[in-house]
Chain A
Amino acid sequence: MQLLGIDALDRLIDELSRLPGIGRKTAQRLAIFVLKSESQYAENLAEAIYNLKKETQLCDKCFNIAEGSLCSICLDTHRDPSKICVVEDIVDIFAIEASNEYKGLYHVLGGVISPLAGVMAENLHLNELIDRVKNENIAEVLMALNPSTEGEATMIYISKLLSGLNLKVTRIASGVPIGSHLEYVDTVTIGRAISSRREL
């Protein structure tokens, strides 16, 4: 790793290059940008990063990012409290929210069951989900986990845990992406799209 010999700059480059998708060259470019900017910008950036860690926590209920004990989604009275969408990670909430199609609550599992990677049910926020379903008058649990082997296994596992609780358990559909051509879609996805076809 080539250092520039300026401790403050080298340190910033080091820290920036730890960010996902940022290589050393990009980190160097960003650090130089900060260096050339006005002092106020550097202070604002540092403060924003500092406050992000200081002023946020995980929501006590759904494990989304929150500024208090509950996140903005759990506090939103306009949302449908009878629906819970189960996701693997916080970033999945951002993706679903961007679609503007879902208006219920969420529950972040914090991963999926992956025996080969050593992640088991007890490592996830599964008990908290069961408690919510039992205590919050939930009518539907929508599973929105990634359609991988581990994601599928986790969805089936959760649906078994929830069976007998008198609620609807659904999962997001998987199939051909909008705007793509069938010719270029892989066989597994086409197979799944056909098996989960619906009547028009």
Chain B
Amino acid sequence: MSELLKSDALVLDSIRWKDSSKIITLFSREYGIIKVIARGVFRNKSAFAGKLESLNRVEIVINSRSSRSLQILTEADVIDSYNAIRPDMQRLPYALAILELVRQTIRESHSDTIFYDFIIVLLDAMKTSQTPAIMFIYFLLKLVSFLGFRPNIDECQVCDKKPSSDIAYFSLEKGTLFCEECAEGATMLRKIKSDDLDLLRKLQNFPHRKIAEFEVNDLPAQYFIDLLIDYLNFHTETNITLKSLSMLI
């Protein structure tokens, strides 16, 4: 018995299947990560032509049957193709990195409408953002929280006080902060300047619907991206390296 399922979805990636079809990996709002087959997509007159590119936000209809592991895509309509992001090499690598992380950290068929909506808001904000790297750090902070590893960057783990000196330490292992006095003996520490820490705190608690308005001074973006990816890798026991970011020139 087959049923028709409808959902909003982001196209993550695709592989060619046989001569004219594609197997598409989608991050859908209702059904999480799913793989579907789009038949005849390479034919000139295919109704899917141009719609199933990575990063496209589409409304899909799937013919689903429980006996099949791969469902059949029957309709797709583009909601947003993020044309403001695509030609911009300061934005596109970060947008693709978001897709890369979704692909690597979210389990198949695990749906979360709130997280999906969050990503859509973030991608929309990225269209006009002057600081896409900061947006990406914001995404990483929210992703690790979503996965259950929200870092504590408020007080020192030992003395429960806000670090008062210019430097504090973040423990990748404990996911928490150590002030300079209490850091001795702690392992896997990364140094953070107090100014940067204030900014990270503000970012962590900033409402995502207003993220486009977030104003930032100089934050060593790559340092914090590396820190958060290492933190993510340690706690999820993965070995994620973000290939998309190597496109940044």
Instruction: Mark A residues whose CB is within 8 Å of B.
Output: 20-21, 113-118, 120-121, 147-150, 152-153, 156-157, 160-161, 177, 180, 184, 186-189, 191
Binds A, one of B95-103, B152-160, B168-176, B220-228: B95-103
Whether B134 sits at the interface, judged by CB under 8 Å, is no
B94 to chain A, nearest CB (A): 11
CB < 8 Å neighbour of B246 from A115, A117, A150, A187 = A115
Whether B199 sits at the interface, judged by CB under 8 Å, is no
Whether B243 sits at the interface, judged by CB under 8 Å, is yes
List 10 interface pairs A-B (beta carbons < 8 Å), by A numbering.
Answer: A116-B99, A118-B243, A120-B246, A153-B92, A153-B247, A156-B89, A160-B249, A177-B44, A188-B78, A191-B83
Q: Which residues of B contact A115 (CB under 8 A)?
A: 93, 96-97, 100, 242-244, 246-247
Q: A116-B100, A150-B54 are in contact. Are A187 and B247 (CB under 8 A)?
A: no
Besides the contacts A114-B13, A116-B243, A120-B243, what 8 more A-B pairs have beta carbons closer than 8 Å? A20-B19, A115-B243, A116-B13, A116-B100, A147-B50, A152-B86, A153-B247, A177-B44
Instruction: Mark B residues whose CB is within 8 Å of A.
Output: 12-13, 15, 18-19, 44-45, 47, 49-51, 53-56, 78, 81, 83, 86-87, 89, 92-93, 96-97, 99-100, 103, 242-244, 246-247, 249
Q: Which residues of A contact B18 (CB under 8 A)?
A: 21
C-alpha spacing A39/B87, complex, angstroms: 57
A128 to chain B, nearest CB (A): 19
B89, A157: Cβ atoms closer than 8 Å: yes
Q: Which residues of B contact A114 (CB under 8 A)?
A: 13
Q: A116-B13, A116-B54, A186-B51 are in contact. Are A153 and B243 (CB under 8 A)?
A: no
Q: Which residues of A contact B93 (CB under 8 A)?
A: 115
B61 to chain A, nearest CB (A): 16
B249, A113: Cβ atoms closer than 8 Å: no
B34 to chain A, nearest CB (A): 16
Q: Which residue, A161, A184, A188, has most C-beta atoms of chain B within 10 A? A: A188
B96, A116: Cβ atoms closer than 8 Å: yes
A186, B50: Cβ atoms closer than 8 Å: yes
A148, B49: Cβ atoms closer than 8 Å: no
Can you name the residue of chain A whose Cβ is closest to the Cβ of B87?
A156
C-alpha spacing A180/B49, complex, angstroms: 13
C-alpha spacing A156/B86, complex, angstroms: 9
Can you name the residue of chain A whose Cβ is closest to the Cβ of B52?
A148
A157, B249: Cβ atoms closer than 8 Å: yes
Q: Which residues of A contact B45 (CB under 8 A)?
A: 180, 184
B12, A116: Cβ atoms closer than 8 Å: yes
Ordered nearest first, which 5 A-B pairs have the shortest CB separation? A115-B243, A115-B244, A116-B13, A188-B50, A149-B54
